[in-house]
Amino acid sequence: MSTETLTVLFVLLPGFVCAKLIRWLCPRPQQTEMEKVVDALLYSFIVYAIFVLIFGIPEKITRRHVAVWP
């Protein structure tokens, strides 16, 4: 797996976890896979918007900020 793939995974992971948690707490009618992915992307955006509101906009974002390799 390449570093770009891992970076994308780490960026989208909070949204997928949040979407799963929301589906677990608030059951809704059956969703298609596309609707689940769109929900996860929306939750990822919300998580990172809240992060920016709390910590401010980072001056420079690199892969090292997302995943630090030993």
Per-residue pLDDT at 50: 86
Q: Encoding tokens for residue 28?
A: 């809704």
Give the model's confidence band at 55: pLDDT under 50 very low, under 70 low, under 90 confident, else very high: confident
What is the pTM for the complete model shown? 0.67
Residue 45 has pLDDT above 60, yes or no: yes
pLDDT-based confidence at residue 37 (cuts at 50, 70, 90):
confident
For the chain, the first-to-last Cα distance in angstroms comes to 16
Do 13 and 39 meet the contact criterion of CB atoms below 8 Å apart? Answer: no
